[in-house]
Amino acid sequence: MKKVMVVFFVSAMLFITGCSSKEEILVCTKEQEIDTRTKLESRYQVLSKDGYVTRLDTVEVIISDSEEVLKTYQENLENVYRDYRGINHYSNEIRIEDNKLISTTKVDYDKIDAEQLIKIDRNNATAIENGKVKVSALKETYEQLDAVCKVGK
């Protein structure tokens, strides 16, 4: 009887772990010299399951020796993200520290209302399928921006 219970337990564990998809991580990075005084470093971490994004964490850093340049970029980014403020499961923080402007965005795609994203920008619809964001579409977008994408950390 114990042998049957052990076999049942092992079979059940294999069934449960075998049927649940593993979460994958895609990391895309980009470094760009904007001009002789300004540099951009971007890192996009995409968590996904079954080919759809579950979470996106983005950090974009603009490095410049000019405070005026950083403040101009800050104003521009605040205008870009203004319409997204107030959307549940979407956050963006922009701050200046020393000679760096840091923009951090976090999106929980498992919980966000994708239709709200489309209302803000119709271009968002290209990556959304049945209310979910396709990893392949996001990866393609980042690669078109010359980011290098790799699976893993």
Whether the Cβ atoms of residue 51 and residue 134 lie closer than 8 Å to each other: yes
pTM of the model: 0.81
Q: Which residues are within 8 A (CB) of 70 and not within 5 positions of it... i.e. 6 or more apart?
A: 62, 64, 96, 99, 100, 101
Could you read off the pLDDT of 8-27 as tens digits, one per residue?
333 333 333 344 578 999 99
Could you read off the pLDDT of 47-104 as tens digits, one per residue?
999 999 999 999 999 999 999 999 999 999 999 999 999 899 999 999 999 999 999 9
Q: Which residues are within 8 A (CB) of 71 and not within 5 positions of it... i.e. 6 or more apart?
A: 96
Edge-to-edge strand order for the sheet containing 38-49? 90-97, 100-108, 52-64, 38-49, 24-35, 148-151
DSSP helix/strand/coil, 113:
coil
Instruction: Read off the tokens for 18.
Output: 């075998």
CA of 105: how far to CAs of 68, 74, 89, 150, in Å?
23, 14, 11, 20
Which pLDDT band holds residue 3 (cuts at 50, 70, 90)? very low
